[in-house]
A and B are shown apart, each in its own frame.
Chain A
């Protein structure tokens, strides 16, 4: 049994400690918002926050999360940055197929938290690990800028 906190709830998981967090979230806990895209930290579809840092859950073993705080797309809307990003995402009508968008929003949320007013280059660098086959990068960019702007108006991120 490994104990960790997932979206604010303390949770005990009975799984091989080597199991990637992605499969713990999906197969054990049915938190299916976090997606499988590549299994080798190439695409970012599985991005979650571990103690506030964006990580690729497909290559992070359960053991690495013991005693830590995990945040997934299901709860990111409860944070100020996550809420602002989701609203901006809807404003720019970002998603197409939508499969990569959980990971995109989780990467963007980690960026905004660390750097509330990122430059274009800083956004690009932070988001470069998240692949979108539908090509929504342009709208993602607008949405991140918008969310940063909204957070500035509404107070600190």
Chain B
């Protein structure tokens, strides 16, 4: 029972970092970045390579994040800017990039599932009273809390965050007031890519790294965004927790309908509150 709850929280922590980056870039750029799952997987594979060369997990996380951020920069700068303003074409560009990237990754790293080894320090369980917690789960939870706090501070306590929040509400007005909104767009997209990359390495240690994992992760992230509401930070936290719990309890009790169950809250939300639990309804 406890084990399942902990598993759920761990999954929720991972999904939160993935979804929050996607959510922010989505709310700001109005681009449903369908390449986000592929970016996650790319980060995981880069992390795997760095890990097998240098044996340093922290370096793997940093390099995985930076490589993915660079890829996101290229995607935004050379492709998305060409079709800026047309939501459908922007989404199709990200989809084609996702397809190309998925196949390129199979060419480079092969199709067999692998797992990123993580340091001995995080191996094994931690026993607290009658609760047994894997150290890696604890690390992932802490990791998500740190990143969540940093992001929250960036959004709510800094001038950059003010511009971003204003951009979410009305980016044309922000641009008219003299902010270089294109630079903000690019940096948010790169930040989202960086988050996808680092969580790719961490998630690759906890879960498996294999082709098709990109679409699975993307589906979870999209479910969380729709459930929590577009552009809502708190919504992402709550929705990630709900999804993580359904994920772990579903795989324990009804493994055959686990993903189907994950859809239920989304269906309910769409019926009763189409903007999501905490969404302000961006259009």
A, B co-complexed: no
A interface list, Cβ under 8 A from B: none
B interface list, Cβ under 8 A from A: none
